[in-house]
Structure 1
Amino acid sequence: MTTLLLASASPARLATLRAAGVAPVVRVSGVDEDAVLDAARARFGALEPADAVLLLAQAKAEDVASGNGLDEADVVVGCDSMLEIDGEIHGKPRTAEVAIARWRSMRGRSGVLHTGHWVVDLRDPEEGGTGGTLGATSSTVVHFADVTDEEIEAYVATGEPLAVAGGFTVDGLGGAFVTGIEGDHHSVVGLSLPLLRELLDRVDVRWTDLWTTPTP
């Protein structure tokens, strides 16, 4: 069995992998997201949302991959998500005031949830390792319900939307406020299983080799 290391503190990403038969090792990166984005903008100018999340996913994966004590992991995956509406990108609201304002602006509308994925192959060449480091972004259209002020305030009061990209979930209390998704719903949760499978295939890791239950 090949061991995957998830460079993320997201419970939703961990739950998604576990539901798909993968039991990853978890190690959270120490990346300063704002510093990474500021440095990239200073060098390259304004970033497209899909590029911003990919850059952060790469930074997180490579930060963890460069650490010590990773003998238990074969491959690292880092992820980052942001919601794009009207060309602006939104990460985690952090405060109730920001979350309420954001929901009032996006209710009854649609946005694009971008999730960057980055994979680093840590395996020794003798064990088939490629030394590969690569990534891609999954972008999914999300349609939001025309929720009332009272619903927004009640939702924000639960605390759920404060620490998630875009200030909403589809796998929790916020699921009732999302009327439709165009694309991979796993990506909206925070990790696209089909895209991760494709990236792993490019470093010669079979998806089924990650399953904790042996295949026939």
Structure 2
Amino acid sequence: MRFVLASASPARLSVLRSAGIEPLVQVSGIDEDAVAAALPEPSPEELVTALARAKAEAVVADIAATEPDAVIVGCDSMLLMAHGEIVGKPGTREAAAKRWAQNAGSTGELLTGHAVVRLRNGEISACAQRHLGTTVRFGEPTEAELDAYLATGEPLHVAGGFTLEGFGGWFIEGVDGDPSSVLGISLPLTRKLLAEVGVSVVTLWRRPTAE
């Protein structure tokens, strides 16, 4: 059975590899705005979960043709800011700077939606989905530090405008909850969702090569 990651995120890939799984990466390329527009006034939790499922389902046809027995995992992350706004990837330096100006010295909740689709004989046999929220405590970088961080380009392309494992980790005071979820994929939650579709995560582990 193949573990398929429906995401281009290098952080999610790194988390899985470190945890013993070598996934097949198949990027969904969905129109996230269209998925969101089709939902009637979704809560932030409903939105990230719906996007995660849409990503997983979008690659089913391609995967079923070559890997008829597989589990496909989709994830989506957004930051619920202290003042109630939910945000994804800043996209521009200006937007990232604004987010940090709002978040510095406060907390936000990183919401990550997870969806697992099980394929048997090329057909969907089961699905499971859920979200997880993790509190992130932001530090207060100096103006020079923030300029340097923005210049790396890193915060422009990640949910909430920060990372835990990269340059942004210098400015995160702490995390209350599952740190792997902040990296983009919660290992404990993914294990539970796999179990719900009848798959034990240990059967997917990459076995060490004997020397």
How does 1:24-43 map onto structure 2 within 5 Å? 24-40=23-39
Which residue of structure 2 lines up, in the alignment, with residue 57 of structure 1? 52
How does 1:123-202 map onto structure 2 within 5 Å? 123-124=120-121, 131-202=125-196
Note the C-alpha offset of 1:70. 3.5
Note the C-alpha offset of 1:30. 2.2
CA distance in 1 between counterparts of 2:66 and 2:35 reads: 24
Note the C-alpha offset of 1:51. 1.0
Q: How many pairs are equivalent? A: 206
Tell me the secondary structure at the aligned position of residue 131 of structure 1: strand
Tell me the secondary structure at the aligned position of residue 133 of structure 1: strand
Cα offsets for 1:146-183 (capped at 9, x unmatched): 11222111101000111100000000111011001010
TM-score by length of structure 1 reads: 0.91
Cα offsets for 1:94-140 (capped at 9, x unmatched): 11111111111100000000000000001239xxx981112000100
CA distance in 2 between counterparts of 1:70 and 1:38 reads: 32
On the 8 A contact 1:110/1:141 being kept in 2, the answer is yes
CA distance in 2 between counterparts of 1:207 and 1:170 reads: 25
> In the alignment, residue 119 of structure 1 is paired with which amino acid?
V
Which residue of structure 2 lines up, in the alignment, with residue 101 of structure 1? 98
Note the C-alpha offset of 1:72. 6.4
> In the alignment, residue 110 of structure 2 is paired with which amino acid?
L
> In the alignment, residue 72 of structure 2 is paired with which amino acid?
V
Question: CA 1:130 to 1:202, structure 2 compared with 1: closer, same or farther past 3 Å?
Answer: farther
Which is further off, 65-74 or 8-17?
A: 65-74
The answer to whether 1:211 aligns with 2:208 is no
Which residue of structure 1 lines up, in the alignment, with residue 115 of structure 2? 118
On the 8 A contact 2:68/2:120 being kept in 1, the answer is no
Tell me the secondary structure at the aligned position of residue 54 of structure 1: helix
Identity %: 50
On the 8 A contact 2:69/2:121 being kept in 1, the answer is no
Tell me the secondary structure at the aligned position of residue 212 of structure 1: coil
CA distance in 1 between counterparts of 2:165 and 2:69 reads: 28
CA distance in 2 between counterparts of 1:115 and 1:58 reads: 12
Note the C-alpha offset of 1:3. 1.5
> In the alignment, residue 103 of structure 2 is paired with which amino acid?
M
TM-score by length of structure 2 reads: 0.93
Tell me the secondary structure at the aligned position of residue 117 of structure 2: strand
RMSD over aligned CA atoms reads: 1.6
> In the alignment, residue 5 of structure 1 is paired with which amino acid?
V
CA distance in 1 between counterparts of 2:155 and 2:104 reads: 14
